[in-house]
Amino acid sequence: MQRYILVRIVQSILALLVLTVIVFSLARFAGDPLDVLLPLEATVEDAERVRAAWGLDKPVYVQYFKFLGNALTGDFGESIKHRDQQAIDLVFDRLPNTALLAGLALVVATVIAVPVGVLSAVKKDTVFDYLGKILALTGQSLPAFWLGLVLMWIFAVNLGLVPTSGKSGVTSYILPAISIGWFQVAALMRLVRSSMLDVLDTEYVKLARIKGVSERKVVWKHCLRNAAIAPFTYFALILGSLMVGSVSIEFVFAWPGVGLLAVDSTIARDFPVIQAVVIVFCVVYITANLLVDIAYAYVDPRIRFS
Amino acid sequence: MAADDRIRAPAIAEETPAPPDAARGIGVGRIMSEARRYPVFPILLLLIVLVIPAAFADFIAPHDPKLGSLGSKLLPPVWMEGGTTEHLLGTDRVGRDILTRIMYGARVSVVTAVIAIFIAGILGTTMGIVAGYTGGMVDAVVMRLVDISLSIPIILLALVLVAAVGASMGTVITVLVLLMWSRYARLVRGETLAVRVQDFIARAQVSGSSHRRIMLRHVFPNVFNSIIVLATLNVGFVIILESTLSFLGAGIPPPQPAWGLMVADGRVLITSPNGWWVAMFPGLAIMLVVLSMNLLGDWLRDRLDPKQRQV
């Protein structure tokens, strides 16, 4: 068990390192940083002086380790677009908004997926099951950004029930949360369904039925509690992908989160900010993955011994 | 009346006991039973929305996809007031015909998806077979690469890449390949491990076949079905991803008629009183294609590779 966790942690760190290499080399790929740093009338001597001052005359691997060291302390440099603001501060300012949205989306996904998944399992091969399948299928087929626009058009523009975009009152959370959560409904529902089917077949559920426990109690208490273990470990993973999935939705709803920051700084080619966003998001995402695997290993002994 | 009933009753009785025969007749019953056996609905939908437009856009599209006329900008679809039969699904802000652009957009989606899946498939399959067949260090290195690739959030990587080298179809395909090769590698490696221990591989080795020949002639045909199933199931996913990237400005660059780009064009019009159709129809096209591709993939999986089936 400890060995398994150790291996997974090393793997995760390795993944992060590879990522920093990719991000670093892409930034170099984008062109000579001096073109941005220097005014047009700078002489060759000026250029050399700035190059030395910024450490750009050193070999590439030295520059990489400097970048890595700075990244570890959260130093990605100043934003190019928003002068004299640290890139990392911009990210952390907006992180709560994104986390909040992702959390709400998770609630939306759970509230829809769990009852539907349970019903599809209990009433397997009936109309309910087919409706559940259709729901899962549409969930996977709808592009999130388009769903967001359609919801905005119906509920904000035509019905005027909620604001179209931005973060204002409580109602401004509804549409973005649904748009992000919808895609996860399908995966979560399938997971709940298959896990419920396994549990429904066990001896203790049969015993509960023989004892005369009401069907409702059997399903929602005896079964769901046991069936929820697998989907529950999956939550961290969903939360990770919800945060990454928020990029297009934040763009649609002009939501002041990290995703919108990522898109804006891509358009402005604001490299320090993009680097900060990508590294922070990847740390969240990879940590979520790691937590899921560890949780799974605790729940399912087959994994840690394989 | 009574006599009529008596004459009819046996006739009905003769017809009803043989439902299989009734199903063979031409009619709704026959169509329904055939539709259950083959994915008729998704295939028809794919033909109408994706394949035929992509292949024949040059002949059937009513207008030029990149050329608009300002005289006819933001015309609504034909069934609304002010719509014309000239532009069945209306026009966008610069007067380009939306139906035409959806047809050409199908081509962009197909080309991107096919190229990306093809490259990722070949790359992943090669690495998977070699890793599974060779084992040892090669296997360990490939599998670590797979793990790393699976744990990198791809949309963000795409944004970095686009900020660095600019948006182009090449960038999109690179991102998609980087994302997908690992799925093929993982699947194929698993299958290869199962195939490797079988008798016919040992016999091929004994009879002096080279490793390369065994991998190509004996392992590959046995993992081929799984690859096809995964590739089919991937098409929908790839189309959604490509359109998301295009929508964010990190995918196919304008003025190419890509579906995601068209939705992005219509994004600001959603809140204005006129022009909801600009974003609506391309999105609908994405949804229909992905939906039918997923249905087709599920069917193919049940047919060719029941092992991958989820409960």
Which chain A residues contact residue B243 at CB under 8 A? Answer: 143
pLDDT in tens, A196-223: 888 888 888 888 888 888 878 888 877 8
pLDDT more than 90, % of chain A: 1
The whole-number average pLDDT for the span B20-38 is: 61
Q: Are A237 and A289 in contact (CB under 8 A)?
A: yes
Its pTM stands at 0.81
Least confident stretch, A77-91, B26-40, B201-215: B26-40
- At A199 the pLDDT is 81
* Contact across the interface for B163 and A19, Cβ inside 8 Å: no
Count helices and strands in chain B by DSSP H and E runs: 14, 0
Measured between beta carbons, which residues in chain A are less than 8 angstroms from residue B152? 15, 18-19, 282, 285
DSSP B207: T
Which stretch, B123-127, B144-148, B230-234, has highest mean pLDDT? B123-127
Q: Are A117 and A188 in contact (CB under 8 A)?
A: yes
Is there a contact between A286 and B151 if contact means CB atoms under 8 Å apart?
yes
CB contact under 8 A, A143 and B159: no
Q: What is the pLDDT confidence band of residue A305, given thresholds at 50, 70 and 90?
A: low
Q: Which residue of B144, B243, B249 is in closest CB contact with A267?
A: B249
Q: Which has the closest alpha carbon to A227: A205, A201, A254, A195?
A: A195
Residue A192's contacts (CB-CB under 8 Å, 6 or more residues apart) are A113, A114, A116, A117, A118, A121, A227, A228, A231
* Interchain proximity B291–A138, CB inside 8 Å: yes
A251/B3: higher pLDDT: A251
Read off the pLDDT band of B5 (50, 70, 90). very low
pLDDT over 70 at B41, yes or no:
yes
Instruction: Give mean pLDDT, residues B97-125.
Output: 90
B contact set with A (CB within 8 A): 144, 147-148, 151-153, 155-157, 159-165, 236, 240, 243-244, 247-250, 260, 263, 266-267, 270-271, 276, 279-280, 283, 286-287, 290-291, 294-295, 310-311
d(CA A125, CA A167): 43
pLDDT value for B115: 94
B155, A247: Cβ pair inside 8 Å? yes
Contact A30 B161 (CB under 8 A): no
Partner-chain contact A14 B144, CB within 8 Å: yes
For residue A79, which phi and psi values (nearest 5 degrees)? -65, 145
Q: How many beta-carbon contacts under 8 Å exist across A and B?
A: 144
Distance CA B16, CA B219 (A): 51
Distance from CA of A157 to the nearest CA of B (A): 6
With cut-offs at 50, 70 and 90, classify the pLDDT of residue B8.
Answer: very low
Contact at CB, A142 and B287, closer than 8 angstroms: yes
> Cα–Cα distance between B116 and B180 in angstroms, integer?
8
Mean pLDDT of A249-254: 89
User: Per the CB < 8 Å rule, is A271 touching B163?
Assistant: yes
The tokens of B51 are what? Answer: 């394949």
Interface test with B, best of A32, A134, A141 (most B CBs within 10 A): A141
Contact B189, B132 (CB under 8 A): yes
Instruction: Using an 8 Å CB-CB cutoff, list chain B residues near A281.
Output: 153, 156
Q: Which residues of B touch A191 (CB under 8 A)?
A: none
Report residue A256 as tokens. Answer: 């002041």
- Residue B126 — pLDDT band, cuts 50, 70, 90? very high
Q: Answer yes or no: do B263 and A149 touch at CB < 8 A.
A: yes
Residue B58, min C-alpha distance to chain A (Å): 27
Q: Do B291 and A194 touch (CB under 8 A)?
A: no
Average pLDDT on A68-75 reads: 81
For the segment A27-46, what is each residue's pLDDT rounded down to a tens digit? Answer: 776 666 666 666 667 777 77
List the single range of A179-188, A245-254, A284-293, B178-187 with lowest mean pLDDT. A284-293
* pLDDT tens digits, A111-163: 888 888 888 888 887 888 888 888 888 888 888 899 999 998 888 888 878 77
Contact (CB<8Å) B279/A149: yes
In the prediction, which pLDDT does B177 show?
A: 92
Please say if the pLDDT value at position B24 is more than 60. Answer: no
Mutate to test the interface with A, among B159, B269, B284 (most CBs of A within 10 A): B159
Tell me, what amino acid is at A181?
G
pLDDT at B53: 80
Which tens digit of pLDDT belongs to each residue from B223-268?
888 888 888 888 888 898 899 989 988 888 888 888 999 998 888 8
Q: A18 contacts in B (CB within 8 Å)?
A: 148, 152
The beta-carbon contacts of A228-235 under 8 Å, at least 24 apart in sequence, are A228/A192, A228/A195, A229/A195, A229/A299, A230/A191, A230/A195, A230/A299, A231/A114, A231/A188, A231/A191, A231/A192, A231/A195, A232/A295, A233/A292, A233/A295, A233/A296, A233/A299, A234/A187, A234/A188, A234/A191, A234/A292, A235/A106
Query: Which of the four CATH numbers 1.10.3720.10, 1.10.1660.10, 1.10.10.10, 3.60.15.10 does domain B41-56+67-303 have?
Result: 1.10.3720.10
**Contact call for A248 and B248, based on CB within 8 A:** yes
Could you say which of A22, A143, A274 has the minimum Cβ distance to residue B243? A143
Contact assignment for A143 to B165 by CB distance below 8 Å: no
pLDDT of residue A303: 58
From B188's Cα to the closest Cα of chain A, the distance in A is 19
CA distance B3 to chain A (A): 42
Name the pLDDT band for B57 (thresholds 50, 70, 90).
Answer: confident
Three-state SS annotation for chain A? CHHHHHHHHHHHHHHHHHHHHHHHHHHHHCCCCHHHHCCCCCCHHHHHHHHHHCCCCCCHHHHHHHHHHHHHCCCCCECCCCCCCEHHHHHHHHHHHHHHHHHHHHHHHHHHHHHHHHHHHHCCCCHHHHHHHHHHHHHHHCCHHHHHHHHHHHHHHHCCCCCCCCCCCHHHHHHHHHHHHHHHHHHHHHHHHHHHHHHHCCHHHHHHHHHCCCHHHHHHHHHHHHHCHHHHHHHHHHHHHHHHHHHHHHHHCCCCCHHHHHHHHHHCCCHHHHHHHHHHHHHHHHHHHHHHHHHHHHHCHHHHHC
pLDDT tens column, B270-294: 888 788 888 889 999 999 888 888 8
Give how far Cα B288 sits from Cα of A65, B69, B270, B281, B293, Å: 48, 29, 21, 10, 8
Three-state DSSP state, B91: strand
Chain B residues touching A252 at Cβ < 8 A: 267
Per-chain mean pLDDT for chain A: 81
